[in-house]
A = this chain, B = another copy of it.
Amino acid sequence: MEIEIDIDDPMPLFTQLVEQIKRAVNNNLIKPGDALPSIRQLANDLEINSKTVAKAYRLLERDSIIQAKGYRGTFVHPEAKANCDFDLNHWLTEKLTEAITLLKKSGATDSEIRIAFNHVMNNNKN
């Protein structure tokens, strides 16, 4: 599995990582049970910060593409390929489009919608 990072790419580094690992799963370059390089190892190879790699791994694990097994390392999730089909961001966009379309029909300004949105996001913080 070869991973390449393009610093000039406007896409965030952690997103590039997520995308490439997902692609590798889809193309059978890595299969369920295969071990992934450790966070520090991969960060060292790509010459980027380990926190950036950790962020990508965290997202991939949440989506059940990979599985972190503590000190034993990280592995491809048994149902990784099936879970790759579900694009959370696409789903988020769909749901938000529905909601925002409704709000705009009421005559709400973009500013008002943004402000109300930020208000909700900030108040639900523990």
The verdict on A117 contacting B96 (CB below 8 Å), with A62-B107, A107-B62 known, is yes
Interface residues of A in 60-108 (CB under 8 A from B): 62, 88-89, 91-93, 95-100, 102-104, 106-108
| A89/B110 in contact, CB under 8 A | no
Give the dominant DSSP class at A's interface: helix
The 26 sampled A-B contact pairs (Cβ below 8 Å) are: A59-B109, A62-B107, A88-B107, A88-B108, A89-B112, A89-B115, A92-B106, A92-B108, A92-B112, A95-B99, A95-B102, A96-B113, A96-B116, A96-B117, A96-B120, A97-B120, A99-B99, A100-B117, A100-B120, A100-B121, A100-B124, A104-B124, A110-B121, A113-B121, A114-B121, A117-B117
